[in-house]
Amino acid sequence: MSVNELNRNSNRDNNRNTSVGEKLLPLIIGVLVKIILPIITAISLHPISIETANRLWEDRRKQIKRMKSNYKPGDLVLVKVFNRKKLDPFFHGPLKIVKKELNTVTVCNPITGEIADRNIHLKNIVPYFTGINLEED
């Protein structure tokens, strides 16, 4: 027997002893490639649509991140207390909003007019209700 015949015989034996998964894997990969390639080529044909989609997605992410608020200068709010003990109140106030920028507000004491040292994020304030209904008939 020559070396070539031995190699051919060993290849036949290897093909017989392979598991089912090894034979199916190229078939599965081939199917996936056939499915994915048309999608990739369709996307690559329209670069303008990709840029538009990316821009729209970026705008949507910014809208989701943005805090929705109805606060405006002059509103009374309570500010969350971070360094509190067990029996201390959760909020400090009421304080008056002086200025609003994006997700932060600047507040002041409505009685003394003293402005706070730092800006406060919208997630750390809650509206203050006086309990007086001004719109009664």
What CA–CA distance (Å, rounded) separates 119 from 105?
Answer: 6
Mean pLDDT, each 10-residue run in order, the chain (137 residues): 52 51 56 54 61 83 75 92 93 92 90 90 90 58
Is residue 70 included in any domain, yes or no? Answer: no
Could you tell me which residues come within 8 angstroms of residue 72 by beta carbon, excluding any fewer than 6 positions away?
A: 97, 100
100 and 81 housed in the same domain: yes
Q: So what's the pLDDT on residue 76?
A: 93
pLDDT digits (tens, 9 = 90+) for 103-128: 899 999 988 989 988 999 999 999 99
Q: Which CATH number characterizes residue 88's domain?
A: 2.30.30.140
86 and 32 housed in the same domain: no
Is residue 136 included in any domain, yes or no? Answer: no
Q: So what's the pLDDT on residue 24?
A: 57
Q: Residue 20: which H helix or E strand, with range?
A: helix 20-44
Structural domain containing residue 34? 3-65
- For the chain, the domain total comes to 2
CB contact at 8 A, 89 and 80? no
Is residue 71 included in any domain, yes or no? Answer: no
60 and 104 housed in the same domain: no
